[in-house]
Structure 1
Amino acid sequence: MSTNSNVKFNAKEIAIYGLFIALVYIATTINIQIGSTSGGLFHLGNVMSFTIAMVFGKKAGALSGGIGMALFDILSPYAVWAPFTLIIRLIMGYAIGYFAFKASNSKKQSIINNSIGLIIAFIVMIVGYYVAEGLLYGNWIVPLQSVFANALQCIVGTSIAVPISTALRAGFKIRHIKTEI
């Protein structure tokens, strides 16, 4: 039986993506509840997701962040959030990974590219979860309380992921290991 598909994964990629999804899921389980009405969490999933996107590229970042965090939602009391999380995190991981691997000839340009990807991801997260919360609660005022917490999540996730990603990419470069999957 033959199938036509533009998206093809080999066994190695499937195993690597599965590992990345599991890492994001596990990191997301390390969390602290924030806010009383919105069900928001402060978790380490952002650190793992951002790191994977910056080190391994857009496809790895999108799949690991989207599926890993949506899986967490499905297996927790936050199942209603899973479709929103999947879409929001797919876009975030793709943006971060895309800009992290944009061609650059200088360290300054690399910093600019990473910053652009992270800023886009921040905007997607804040606006995406604001809209999701507004739709879920039928109220566009209540979700405003989550904006600060989501921004803080992005800032903390970035402040931890950037140095880790920088070190990993440098180490892989020294060993001539290709990272973009």
Structure 2
Amino acid sequence: MNSNNIKNLVLNSLFIALVYVATRFINIPGPTPGGLFHLGNVMFFTIAIVFGKKAGAISGGVGMALFDLTSPYAIWAPFTLVIRMAMGYIIGAAAEKFQKKKVYNIVSILVGITVATLVMIVGYYISEVILYHNFITPLQSVWGNFMQSIVGTVIGVPFSATLKAALKKANVNIYLEDKRISIK
């Protein structure tokens, strides 16, 4: 294993741990069955915005699936893995699009988060239909899923901008997936 692979492994492991901890230990049970308000989305969105689509997909999918596996929600883990990986990829891709142009474009990021939120709502609705064998009951969780994304956006987007500015000011260069992630 070369040093770049080790760096990638360490950074992605750290990102997974951050998402897991924010989901596991900073949460409030929601009003709907199985609903949970947590700050995992804040970490997840921040990682996708600052470090890109691969880091976003890995940290969101694996971090939140690990939470499911270590909680009463274990049955959700396979669904969470796929849904959150797709979300992280979408958000990270939207952020990367403008990172190459050396701008922090809030509109692109918000469009990415909006598309990712729709993927999450539809993905979890389909998952609940599969698990509950019912098309009506899953509608209860749509609002909670939407609010989760709102919280992640309201806190995560400004935090991402602040983190990027701090990393840039400190002249920190991060290498992930054998490429330098320039903080612009």
TM exceeds 0.5? yes
Cα distance in structure 1, aligned partners of 2:32 and 2:90: 30
TM-score (norm 1): 0.88
Question: Once the 2 structures are TM-superposed, how far is the Cα of residue 179 of structure 1 from its aligned partner?
Answer: 4.6
Aligned counterpart, 2:180: none
Number of residue pairs the alignment of both structures matches:
171
Matched, 1:22 2:36: no
For residue 30 of structure 2, the aligned residue among 31, 34, 42 is 34
The percentage of aligned residue pairs carrying the same residue is 57
For residue 51 of structure 2, the aligned residue among 42, 45, 56 is 56
Distance 1:14 1:106, change over 3 A: closer
Distance 1:61 1:52, change over 3 A: same
In structure 1, stretches of 5+ residues that fail to align are 1-8
For residue 159 of structure 2, the aligned residue among 164, 168, 173 is 164
Runs of 4 or more, structure 1, over 4 Å off, are 104-107
Alignment of 1:64-143 (within 5 A): 64-103=59-98, 105=101, 110-143=105-138
Moved more, 168-177 or 150-159: 168-177
Cα distance in structure 1, aligned partners of 2:147 and 2:32: 17
Aligned counterpart, 2:181: none
Give the aligned residue type for 2:27. N
RMSD over aligned Cα atoms: 1.7
Aligned counterpart, 1:10: 5
Aligned counterpart, 2:145: 150
TM-score (norm 2): 0.87
In structure 2, stretches of 5+ residues that fail to align are 177-184
Question: Once the 2 structures are TM-superposed, how far is the Cα of residue 178 of structure 1 from its aligned partner?
Answer: 3.5
Cα distance in structure 2, aligned partners of 1:113 and 1:36: 31
Distance 1:117 1:180, change over 3 A: farther
Matched, 1:46 2:41: yes
Give the aligned residue type for 1:171. A
Moved more, 46-55 or 26-35: 26-35
Question: Once the 2 structures are TM-superposed, how far is the Cα of residue 32 of structure 1 from its aligned partner?
Answer: 1.3
Contact 1:57–1:179 (CA under 8 A) maintained in structure 2: no
